[in-house]
Amino acid sequence: MVVPADCALHEAIQVSPLILSDDVRRQKIENHTAKMRLSVATVRKIQDVFISEVNKGIHQQPSSLQMENTYIPELLDRTEEGLYLALDLGGTNFRVVLLELAHGAPIRQEVKKYHIGSELRIGSAIPLFDFLAKCVSDFVIARGLQDVELPLGFTFSFPMIQHSLDVAVLVTWTKTFNCPDAVNKDVVKLLREALDRRADTKVKVVAVLNDTTGTLVQGSTLDPNVAIGLILGTGSNACYLERADRVEHWETERHGEKEVIIDIEWGAFGDNGVLDFIKTDFDRENDANSLIVNSFTFEKYISGKYLGEVVRVILARLTKEGLLFVGETTLHSLLTPGTLTTDLVSKIEQDSVDGGNSNTKEVIKKFGIIPDEDDIRVVQYVCEVASNRAALLVSICLAGLLDRIDKEQVAIAVDGSLYKHHPRLENWMKRYISLLTSGRQFKLILAEDGSGKGAALVAAIAQRLQERLQ
């Protein structure tokens, strides 16, 4: 039976029609990309699978969702005062942040960005952590704070198993990092040891967290209804406030906590095969071209590190099939993995919003190709199809979380380069989430710099929790 909600959803998830001068070519292109467009039935199936994986993960049963306990049972209570540091590793930049708090609100912030070269990102753990410690020391000493005891929140945006608020074992690297000897090690210990080797500051690592957690906590200073933190950037992941009595993995002593932040690690959703029914040949190729293959299935469908590559793989396939850039000979760049970055997809998508094509032409010309009008339409169509699928997939999971969180109003704190720079994701997501949730009220709010500022706020919360236990 077709329910009205499904009709509305069916309408909403349609992409703009592809209009080409040659109808046979149009048909062939639509056929090639058909599996990228999810039907309502498939959307509902993904929704069920997500909810089932969430339940399994939280009950410690085998699941592709880690549902990690962050051991952060409460947000700011406005008593937090003083200076806090944050270290943010795993996003586009590596940053050190100093935050001064008065009554739980930031009154001063200083940030410094550092570049981590690929020889450190892909190598062994000690040089990487020594570099992190050096940046912390330089930052602290430059501000004359070397003799001040500074609590530090360490944002480590990779999957980790948390044993407590300040013990976290790396499960696997993702995105652009791969230092194999850090896997299975406690990253807080690695950082503390590196700071101890220098012994030139009084920095004290009090908490380790994920960027989604930082975003949730930072978002809660902007809107008290924040209960979900979302990152849609290089990688993608979300966390949310879960009822403490539902959480089975809890290694420390409980103190009557009512809620706790759970880091879902949804980038790995489907790594156990539960999402194979949506995997296309394009996704297989995208995975094969990635740094760590056969992992982070969901992230490879949606995040900034991969969306451009998904588009490139489709365009390359259409070109090889003689359906795009016919007669072009300078195809080397388009056929090379990694050449079409996600910011270029956002740029092309801007044309679709404006009804123009100058950005699209500019991007295609960068590949040494002179496009005709039909080529431009195909490229725009492919960018829309891939972006729209990402928006839909993220919305399915967010709607599932909204239904799980028993609150009248929920604000979702979002950060990440893809969300900020893609011209259509936010609007699509608003529409899709409202059609997919069973009537929950929600808002998407931008919580910039959650991974930096949020980590310093978490350090303040951690300090408060520790003092309470003493």
Residue 395 lies near ligand GLC (rule: CB under 6 A)? no
Q: Kindly report the three-state secondary structure assignment for every residue of 84-148.
A: EEEEEECCCCEEEEEEEEECCEEEEEEEEEECCCHHHHCCCHHHHHHHHHHHHHHHHHHCCCCCC
Say what the alpha-carbon torsion angle 7, 13, 17, 18 is, to the nearest 10 degrees: -140
From candidates 166, 287, 299, 374, binder to ligand GLC by CB under 6 A: 299
* Closest to 12 in 3D by CA, of 351, 279, 395: 395
Nearest CA to 22 out of 382, 378, 364 is that of 378
Shortest Cβ 275–ligand GLC spacing (Å): 15
342 makes contact with ligand GLC (CB under 6 A):
no
Interaction of residue 454 with ligand GLC, rule CB under 6 A: no
Instruction: Read off the tokens for 198.
Output: 């220098």
Least Å from the CB of residue 299 to ligand GLC:
5
Q: Which of 88, 211, 283, 449 is catalytic?
A: 211
**Residues 157, 303, 346, 417: which is the catalytic one?**
157
* CB of 170 or CB of 382, closer to ligand GLC: 170
Residues 6+ away with beta carbon under 8 Å from 1: none
Which is the catalytic residue, given 26, 95, 377, 440?
A: 95
Q: Which of residues 130-189 bind ligand GLC (CB under 6 A)?
A: 157-159, 174-175
211 lines the binding site for ligand GLC (CB under 6 A): yes
Residue 186 DSSP one-character state:
B
Q: Does 235 bind ligand GLC (CB under 6 A)?
A: yes
Tell how strand 409-415 and strand 226-232 pair up: parallel
Q: Which stretch binds ligand GLC (CB under 6 A): 209-217, 270-278, 346-354, 439-447?
A: 209-217
By the rule CB under 6 A, 215 interacts with ligand GLC = no
Query: Shortest gap between Cβ of 470 and ligand GLC (angstroms)?
Result: 31
Q: Which residues pair with 101 in a beta bridge?
A: 82, 106
The residue (of 265 and 349) whose beta carbon lies closer to ligand GLC is 265
Instruction: Work out how close the CB of 422 gets to ligand GLC at its nearest, in angstroms, rounded to a whole number.
Output: 16
Which residues, 6 or more positions from 88, have their beta carbon under 8 angstroms from its beta carbon? 94, 95, 96, 97, 155, 157, 211, 214, 451, 452, 455
Minimum gap (Å) between residue 292 Cβ and ligand GLC: 11
Nearer to ligand GLC, 228 or 382 (CB): 228
Instruction: Please report, as a single letter, which amino acid is at residue 435.
Output: L
Query: Which amino acid, 453?
Result: K
- Applying the rule CB under 6 A, the residues between 420 and 449 that interact with ligand GLC are none
What distance in Å separates the CA atoms of residue 32 and residue 43, rounded to the nearest whole number? 20
Binding mask 253-292 for ligand GLC (x = CB under 6 A): ------------x-x-------------------------
Nearer to ligand GLC, 159 or 452 (CB): 159
Q: Rounded distance, CA 342 to CA 348, Å?
A: 10
Does the active-site annotation cover 157? yes
Query: Number of helices (H) and strands (E), helices first, in the chain?
Result: 16, 13
* Binding track, positions 236-255, relative to ligand GLC; x by CB under 6 A: xx------------------
Which residue of the chain is nearest ligand GLC when measured via CB? Answer: 235
Residue 174 vs 280, nearer CB to ligand GLC: 174
Q: Decide: is 90 part of the binding site for ligand GLC (CB under 6 A).
A: yes
Please list the alpha-helical segments (H only) found in 117-245.
118-121, 125-142, 187-198, 211-220
Residue 8 Cβ, how far from ligand GLC at the closest point, in Å? 31
Q: Among 64, 69, 137, 210, which residue sits at the site for ligand GLC (rule: CB under 6 A)?
A: 210
Sign, CA torsion 356/359/363/369: positive
Instruction: List the beta bridge partners of residue 391.
Output: none
Pairwise CA distance, residues 455 & 461, whole Å: 10
Strand order in the sheet with 94-102: 105-114, 94-102, 82-89, 150-156, 203-209
Nearer to ligand GLC (CB atom), residue 400 or residue 454: 454
| Residue 152 or 208 having the CB closest to ligand GLC | 208
The question of whether 95 is a catalytic residue gets the answer yes
Contact segment (CB under 6 A) with ligand GLC among 116-124, 229-237, 324-332, 357-365 equals: 229-237
Asked whether the CA dihedral 158, 118, 196, 76 is positive or negative, the reply is: negative
Closest contact distance (angstroms) between CB of 288 and ligand GLC is: 19
Cα–Cα distances in angstroms (integers) from residue 227 to residues 157, 185, 404, in the given order: 19, 30, 11
Among 203, 208, 231, 379, binds ligand GLC (CB under 6 A): 231
Shortest gap between Cβ of 210 and ligand GLC (angstroms)? 5
In three-state secondary structure terms, 179 is: coil
**Positions marked active-site:** 95, 157, 211
Write out the residues near ligand GLC by the rule CB under 6 A. 90-91, 157-159, 174-175, 210-212, 231, 233, 235-237, 265, 267, 299
